[in-house]
Structure 1
């Protein structure tokens, strides 16, 4: 949990006029989620709100069950010590789901960011006709016996979305989903707001809310899924691009004239650095392509696995150096469906070139490990509705009308 003295990510400021009340609520919730147990006057100081405004917001949030009183601090002088407040984990929850090519994973995350339930099932047919009923059933099962209200459901799918030549070809895409408004279809079926995002963007949001990089405001997440993608956080916000496809590095040509890609190019990055490329290497060596069997394998003890790691890192390193020059990030985070040891092995093999990130005054490594394992994308998906519900947004601080009553997603 971020402590108040950690100021590398600025605390959003509130607005005192009444028309910015929704923004102020988000600022207070965001602060409490990051700082943990906090007092009223400390919240007012850090958010630059009046104590009375903070009192009103705290009373409202307590009434909705989103925060709770956390007792008083030890007395340091005369008078009664102030009362502290904290996020109420049982106040609300979100569900996150990843729809991969052959697997459906899901998690339930409470308001404090703790995983309450998780599920992973192999799926032979991920077309909408087969997958949508299974999603309905899984959401009902996961929602059973959960405390608090459902804030929303996040669903991640491999991108890019609706791009000619990319969206419906190759082994990293889902069949039959092109042209379908997945968010609208799922919202109607599930009776709760659904946010749909690509896996890399969701994992990047997850790192800012639920991961180990809460204090960072400028970073990129390279996500190893079936393919490979990039999510970018800039000034604490997701960089989505004009059509939601920013960070589509899987089809960046990393080896000109190299292996053919279903997109029509040769030498795309995901043909070398992705779990699909790893599976191809295993099958070519006469091995099983089941990556679950590799969870306990030591990557350096197997010549086939070690060769793939060398190749993946060799093609990924120059791309990371380019990203550093373009984005000037605090760090680049590697995350995804690989085990932690595998991500660490890739990082140790990277040969990064000269870039703007090569500085003597760095406080963080140029590349770090983030969320890993089979549930990494589902955890990121669970962060999406939470991010939409509690993270401060500039437009709310400027033009939103007064908030008259608490809103609650349909059940």
Structure 2
């Protein structure tokens, strides 16, 4: 399994109080100091001092629109400064590799793609090294100084995919890129990264506990408990594509875009446009995918009492919405005595979830409470989520 430990810590590592304030603004949008003091329990003077430091560091922007307080006093919301820090994200996908530059507000500034028949380690390494060089050449010196590192979202056990993937066995892409780029580099499972991206950049309110499916060429996923993305001792928790389903199969054998392509007899576009799939093929894929997704979801809910299942993927929004509805209907029709059925909801990031999740790894290390999206952090109301266990629990 790839080494997931970064080569170094990013520049500008912040205190826990600073991280807490940055997280609250990230999840709630611009907030005035009075609201931050109420949410954190810190004194007004402490919040003033902390936010002044964050503004001086270029991480917060005090230029938002003024709002009136209860007695007419203008309140100045503080927002994340997009140029405050920059992050690189690399996604290793079955059909395409993606490299992005993401700003502190979570917006993709640059993107590069490498389509392939199969991802090969040398080609992925060279693509990343050359792409980073091109990205850096487009940045000013001040912007380069704010680059906090690179995150990699990659499936684990790549050599299990096909004979063509055997060269991945024994390779450590994280270490190779850390040495080649002279940057701190993190690596996590691509399904976990997609789930983490939904937590960090998604636009919907999320409960503290939920199950996450990501349906791409193969299916994967993640699991969030007590507001924390759980990775497990082998950092592969929430591997929902590997969940066993009736017939001696796994979820990924059915609910994957590769299955839809096989039925179609050809590859689908690498973007969300022009997916010309006959309705009969679409209906069959939706029905069979919903059957295995609902089976896996109900099993997880029976064990963990999860109120929400999120389904996202590398597919057009209309197909994702249809898959959510089909899974909802399948769940309702299943025998579920003694279990409260979860809500099923579409994710909000779509095709870029894994790449954004990769970029979120260095962002989390430097700027999230606890140093990652698997660590305890405040909810939207400022109170810490349940569970005071160490980050990256065993």
Q: Same fold (TM over 0.5)?
A: yes
**1:156-195 alignment runs, 5 A limit:** 156-159=153-156, 161=157, 168-171=159-162, 174-195=165-186
The residue aligned with 1:378 is 355
Q: What is the CA-CA distance between 1:319 and the residue it aligns to?
A: 1.2
Helix, strand or coil for the counterpart of 2:238?
Answer: coil
- Note the 1:192-341 alignment, pairs <5 A: 192-256=183-247, 266-283=248-265, 288-292=266-270, 295-297=273-275, 301-341=278-318
C-alpha deviation, 1:249, in angstroms: 2.5
- Normalised by the length of structure 2, the TM-score is 0.80
- Structure 1 unaligned residues grouped into runs of 5+: 1-20, 162-166, 257-265, 360-364, 401-411
SS in 2 for 1:216: coil
| Cα distance change on mapping 1:173 and 1:46 into 2, 3 Å | farther
Shift of 1:202: 0.4
Question: Larger % of helix: which?
Answer: 2
- In structure 1, C-alpha distance between the alignment counterparts of 2:280 and 2:163, rounded to whole Å: 26
Residue 139 of structure 1: aligned partner:
132
State the Cα distance separating 1:226 from its structure 2 match: 2.3
- The answer as to whether partners of 1:209 and 1:387 remain within 8 angstroms in 2 is no
How many matched pairs? 355
> In 2 relative to 1, CA 219–119 (structure 1 residues): closer, same or farther, beyond 3 Å?
same
Match of 2:151 among 121, 130, 154: 154
Unaligned runs of 5+ in 2: 1-13, 378-383
User: How big is each residue's C-alpha offset from its partner over 1:194-231, in whole Å with a ceiling of 9 and x where there is no partner?
Assistant: 21111110011101111123543221210112221121
Provide closer, same or farther for how the CA distance between residues 251 and 130 of structure 1 changes in structure 2, counting only shifts above 3 A.
Answer: same
Listed as ranges, the matches of 1:18-167 within 5 Å are: 22-70=15-63, 73-74=66-67, 81-124=74-117, 126-143=119-136, 144-145=138-139, 148=143, 149-159=146-156, 161=157
CA 1:294 to 1:68, structure 2 compared with 1: closer, same or farther past 3 Å?
closer
Counterpart-to-counterpart distance in 1, 2:271 and 2:281: 14
Q: Deviations over 1:60-119 (max 9, x none)?
A: 212211112135734558786344322111111212221112311133221112222223
| Residue aligned with 1:112, SS | coil
CA distance in 2, matches of 1:307, 1:126: 29
The answer to which of 149-158 and 67-76 deviates more is 67-76
My pick for the range that moved more, 274-283 or 120-129, is: 120-129
Deviation at 1:175, TM superposition (A): 4.0
SS at match of 1:176: helix
In our comparison, the structure showing a higher alpha carbon Rg is 1
What is the CA distance between 1:272 and its match in structure 2?
1.0
The alpha-carbon distance between structure 1 residues 374 and 32, as it changes in their structure 2 partners (threshold 3 A), is closer
Q: Normalising by the residue count of structure 1, what TM-score does the alignment of the two structures yield?
A: 0.77
What CA distance in whole angstroms lies between the structure 2 residues aligned with 1:85 and 1:239?
A: 31
**Contact in 2 for aligned 1:96/1:106 (Cα 8 Å):** yes
Cα distance in 2 between the residues matched to 1:97 and 1:138 = 10
Contact 1:106 1:375 (C-alpha < 8 Å) held by counterparts: no
More moved, 335-344 vs 137-146: 137-146
- Determine if contact 1:357/1:366 at 8 Å carries over to the other structure: no
Does the 8 A contact of 1:219 with 1:330 survive in 2? yes
Shift of the 201–356 alpha-carbon distance from structure 1 to 2, 3 Å rule, reads farther
CA distance in 2, matches of 1:268, 1:156: 22
Q: Is the 8 A contact 1:335 1:343 kept in 2?
A: yes
CA offset at residue 387 of structure 1?
2.1
SS in 2 for 1:179: coil
